[in-house]
A and B are shown apart, each in its own frame.
Chain A
Amino acid sequence: MTDVRIVVNGTPVEQSVEPRLSLADLLRDRLGLTGTHLGCEHGVCGACSVLLDGRSVRACLTLAVQAHGHRVTTVEGLAEHRTTRSLVAALSAAHGLQCGFCTAGFLVSATELLEESDGAELTDRDVRAALSGNLCRCTGYQGIIEAVRQAATDSAAGAQAADGATPAS
């Protein structure tokens, strides 16, 4: 057993874990953060995406011991992010979720995209390329893409407003 100390959603956590325990299983089974879902456990579907030191990673391809000394943000902790409220609202408005299983992963990946693009407008192509690592089987992605673009626009408008500039209509 190995001791790990990880800051999860802003709270320091200490656990004693078997080395083979994945970060996903630590979050879900030890910490009760079941919002992160396991769709494949071989790194393809992206449903298990979380932020590790602010970058999206597959929690199924990360050992808990590898997260020792690092910061993890799960879907449950995304409310801290500036872009989350508009992303969440946009996803619902655009019907960007049906069964909800992939949703957490998309929220994480989209949060990273919105932060990296830092207020820039995003094209359909930009968003599709950035989110190609998240699978959805229900929606055909149309609503998700629309929502992320909308959130990017809202973010740009918000940033302009914060600067005191008149937001584009």
Chain B
Amino acid sequence: MTTSADTGGWVGRSAPRREDARFLAGRGRFVADLGDAATLHAVFVRSTQPAARLLGVDVSLARRQPGVVGAYTGADLAEDAGPLPTLHEPHPGFAAATQFRMADPALPCLAVDEVLYVGQPLAVVLAHSRHLAEDAAELVDVRYADRAAVTDATEALRDDSPVVHERLGDNEAGRIGFTLGDVDTARAGAHLEVTETYRMGRHGAVPLECRGVFATVDHRRERVEVWTSTQIPHLVRDTMCRVTGWATESVRVAAPDVGGGFGTKANVYPEEIIIPVLARRLARPVSWVEDRAEHFLAAAQGRDQVHHTRLAVDATGRILSWEDDFVVDIGAASLWTAGILANTAVHLLGPYRMRCVRVHGRAAFSNKTVVAQYRGAGRPEACFALERSLDHAARELGISQEQIRRRNLLTAADLPHRVDLPYRDGVPIELDGGDYLACFEACLDALPRAELTRLRAEHPELAVGYGVANYLEATGRGPYETGRARLGADGRFAVAAGSASAGQGHQTTLAQVAADALGVDPAAIAVVNGDTDAVADGIGTFASRSAVLAGNAVDQACRELVSRARQLAAQLLGAPEARLRDGVFEAAPGTSAPGDSADSTAGAAGTLSWAELAAALGPRGTLADAPPLDVTVRYRPLTVTWTMGSHAAVVGVDRETGLCRVLLYAVAHEGGTEINPMIVHGQIVGGVAQGIGGALLEEFRYSADGQPLSGSLADYLLPETTDLPPVRVVARHTPTGANPLGVRGAGESGTIAVYAAVAAAVQDAVGAHVTATPITPAQVWRAASREPALGRAG
């Protein structure tokens, strides 16, 4: 736990969450809770084919159904909204250094001429109830001319593949590559080379709350108000205005309580555009609540990468060269292709000493559901490829998983570590950390191999194995985040930020940051985020950025507010200068005492409270002509804040069935200042849970001709209480100057290395080379029975 030296000590405290009261009382306000009897309910008609020309979409019968208010095709609404633009492009410096290229899929909001994935929306029905809208939606007649579907990313990149987006000519959605050092020479001198193909199956966020949009027109304010279950309300607003042509002031976008996002809600969706369009068109409130079946077809998915790797080491296991040629299947479209490619490519560096690296990556279009950034967003895939390769080399050399990592981890002497490559923000990479090797050792201390003895005795029916993995993580990427602090009339504060919480507790953490800067109790601070009314611009919450960016933005805004307040307080105190001490203003020492120009607003003994200052700024106060204390700041970090961590997993395998259970897990991570250690801990444990799900259980499966096979929570297996182990977390406080609060992001830290650690543990248990996730019981059973190589069939 850390406490800022010169603050009131709220940062660093595991303060109880403000959010809890309403959720525990059943008083949350999620998007499905909004609206009333007048609200119209929308149902989207979605493609049942993965690739087809649309010969016709006939809504005439649907329109005539009882309770139906309207039914619209893509053609009907084509003028109202253009195609969705990508949300992210890398800095030109990065793009040049990595020969980055990207295609623009430009998917329309509602399909008009063609459909490119099962689940793509192509019509929408509005009725007085969801029930009636579903009834009518079944009567929309869609005629398709099927074409060959592209379902394998590697095949998609072949010259003879069918093309997903005809106008683009091929299926390359993006490419990236870089080389460090002289790979070929380094490799030539290697003692050992290991090559392998690694696959991470398609899976994703699957939050407990599906998506949803509620839009209503405010005629007095002449604008549409859009509540959407999103992590990025400002980007949704910006995109909405861009594709509709609406003026920014005519749109408000806000996130209500959001039931988990994990990246799938850090996306802009066609539904988020169409629902407001309909609300405007009909001048009626319109609600769309995604159901789980839709979610599995139409909410952005993740992972789905294949890596062709070659690691060369010397006789002691020291890395000489590392090469990876990877392909990402980004589905029919992605607004985050650049982010996924860049994250994967850069994080292949790992927290290791590596001088010679050659990375080449491509993203391919396929006729599968759209893809966005899911917790880790490329880092887990990169980590899996690298860590598994290290294990492979270790086995060939006859050394342990631990030994090969000790040989290569960056130590205190190596840090900060410069890499001859810019990060996606264009700034040269410099890994700022404490001691990566020591972090690894701390993880091994938290969950030592020696515990296997006890665990094996407790589970004699299982083969128990131990696996470790390390990850590197860039957090807190800019370009900026907005923070705002305002002194209210009663001396309490309103703080706002561009972040949007989906469970990370920003209402609590940002109040803690503000409390320290303002010298007051967090209870005196009301935090609003996720709303374009609260701050006019912002980016949002994803990529482990909000503690760094929103935290520092709020901190800066509060400090700026304090700075201005001090000037006003000085006036009121009749002193040349005032300072804020323990939440109260007083004349700065060495300046003239009050009394000469005594002001009636100065409190006893020459002090001034925030409430008194607020009163002075009020209409009857002595400073009534002064502008209100309301500060908005855009915090721009210089670059990302790096962090790393180590994971250790103990997995028990039933050899006779291949069923695997994670028995115990540990994470040690180089964290910075933790605004609320309890919340950071919760993020890590939750992240591990999702990693275990992805490693062992979760997959979006598709048939060979592009039909989704994972249509419900009965097919797509989420970890239950009985699937997850206790997780030990060691936070190794590693101060950083990368941002004023010294925070390192942690939202994805729990997930990134799980796949590799679990795979290593399974391998340790049954002695077979795990090269793909999800690690299925059938594969493990085969390996335990006889075969040495697991997962080649993918």
User: Direct A–B touching in the complex (beta carbon < 8 Å)?
Assistant: yes
Q: Which residue of B lies closest to A77 (CB)?
A: B26
Is A41 in contact with B292, judged by CB distance below 8 angstroms? yes
Contact with B along A72-100 (1 / 0, CB 8 A): 00111000000000001001110101111
A98 touches B24 (CB 8 A): no
- Set B30, B714, B720: member contacting A101, Cβ < 8 A: B30
- Which residues on the A side are within 8 Å of B606 (C-beta)? none
A127 at interface (Cβ–Cβ under 8 A)?
Answer: yes
CA distance A144 to B23 in the complex (A): 14
User: Is A40 a contact partner of B259 (Cβ separation < 8 A)?
Assistant: no
Residue B27 lies at the interface, judged by CB distance under 8 Å to chain A: yes
Bound-state CA distance A121–B24 (Å) is 23
Residues in B whose Cβ lies below 8 Å from that of A138: 208, 260, 503, 682, 686
Interface residues on A, range: 35 or more
Q: Among the listed B20, B210, B726, which residue makes an inter-chain contact with A142, where contact means beta carbons less than 8 Å apart?
A: B726
State A93–B712 Cα separation when bound (angstroms).
Answer: 33
Complex contact A44–B713 (CB within 8 A): yes
Please, how many angstroms separate the alpha-carbon atoms of A138 and B502 in the complex? Answer: 9
B25–A136 CB distance below 8 A: no
Question: What's the interface size class on B, roughly?
Answer: 35 or more
The closest CB in chain A to the CB of B689 belongs to A140
Q: A140-B689, A140-B727 are in contact. Are A132 and B721 (CB under 8 A)?
A: yes
User: A134 interface residue, CB < 8 Å from B?
Assistant: yes
Taking a contact as CB atoms under 8 Å apart, the answer to whether A42 and B209 are in contact is: no
* Interface contact A99-B260, CB-CB below 8 Å: yes
Contact with A along B719-734 (1 / 0, CB 8 A): 0111010110000000
Give which listed residue, B24, B207, B713, contacts A103 with CB less than 8 A: B24
In the complex, whether B179 has a CB less than 8 A from a CB of chain A is no
Is B679 a contact of A42 with CB atoms below 8 Å?
Answer: no
| Complex Cα–Cα for A141 and B722 (A) | 9
Residues from chain B with a CB closer than 8 A to the CB of A93 are 16
For A40, list chain B residues within 8 Å (CB): 292, 712-713
In the bound complex, CA of A134 to CA of B292 (Å): 16
Residue of B with least CB distance to A47: B208
Cβ B260 vs Cβ A131 within 8 A:
no
B722 touching A129 by the CB < 8 A rule? yes
Contacts of A134 in B (CB 8 A): 721
Is there an interface contact between A33 and B26, defined as CB atoms closer than 8 Å? yes
Q: Is the CB of A143 within 8 A of B26?
A: no
Contact A76 B727 (CB under 8 A): no
List A residues 97-118 near B (Cβ within 8 Å).
97-104, 107
CA distance A102 to B28 in the complex (A): 11
| A131-B721 CB under 8 A given contacts A34-B33, A103-B24, A137-B207 | yes
Alpha-carbon separation in the docked complex, A128 to B20 (Å): 22
A137 touches B262 (CB 8 A): yes
Contact A104 B26 (CB under 8 A): yes
Q: A41-B292, A99-B207, A100-B28 are in contact. Are A135 and B681 (CB under 8 A)?
A: no
A48 to chain B, nearest CB (A): 11
Which residue on chain B has the smallest CB distance to residue A100? B23
Q: Which residue, of B22, B209, B258, B289, has the highest number of chain A Cβ atoms within 10 A?
A: B209
The answer to whether B721 touches A145 (Cβ under 8 A) is: yes
Find out whether the CB atom of B24 lies under 8 angstroms from the CB atom of A42: no
B504 touches A98 (CB 8 A): yes
Q: Which residues of B contact A91 (CB under 8 A)?
A: 20, 24
A20 interfacial contact with B, CB 8 Å: yes
Q: Give a binary string over B6-35; 1 marks a CB under 8 Å from any A CB, 0 the rest.
A: 000000000011011111111111101100
Instruction: Report which residue of B205, B504, B726 has the largest number of chain A beta carbons within 10 angstroms of its beta carbon.
Output: B726
Task: Find chain B residues with CB under 8 A from A102 CB.
Answer: 208, 259
Report whether A35 and B207 are in contact in the complex, using a CB–CB cutoff of 8 Å: no
Q: What is the CA–CA distance of A127 and B210 in the complex, to the nearest angstrom?
A: 27
Q: Are A74 and B26 in contact, CB atoms less than 8 angstroms apart? A: yes
Decide if A45 is an interface residue (CB 8 Å cutoff): yes
Instruction: Flag whether A39 is at the interface (Cβ < 8 A).
Output: yes
Partner of A42, one of B21, B210, B714: B714
Instruction: Name A142's closest neighbour in chain B (CB-CB).
Output: B685
Chain A residues with Cβ below 8 Å from B24 are 88, 91-92, 97, 103, 107
**B663 at interface by CB-CB < 8 Å:** no
Bound-state CA distance A42–B294 (Å) is 13
A42 to B29 Cα, complex, angstroms? 22
Q: Does B257 contact A (CB under 8 A)?
A: yes
Bound: A18/B20 CA distance, A: 35
Quick check: A99 and B713 within 8 Å, CB to CB?
Answer: no
| Interface contact A139-B686, CB-CB below 8 Å | yes
14 A–B contacts, CB within 8 A, in A order = A34-B29, A34-B33, A35-B25, A42-B712, A76-B25, A95-B17, A99-B260, A101-B207, A102-B259, A128-B721, A135-B720, A138-B682, A140-B688, A142-B685
Q: Apart from A38-B32, A100-B23, list 15 A-B contacts with CB within 8 A.
A: A34-B29, A37-B30, A38-B289, A42-B714, A44-B712, A44-B714, A76-B25, A91-B24, A99-B260, A99-B502, A101-B30, A101-B208, A101-B260, A137-B205, A141-B721
Nearest 4 CB-CB pairs, A to B? A35-B26, A100-B23, A101-B259, A99-B503
A-side residues, CB < 8 A to B, are: 18, 20-21, 28, 33-42, 44-45, 47, 74-76, 88, 91-93, 95, 97-104, 107, 124, 127-129, 131-145
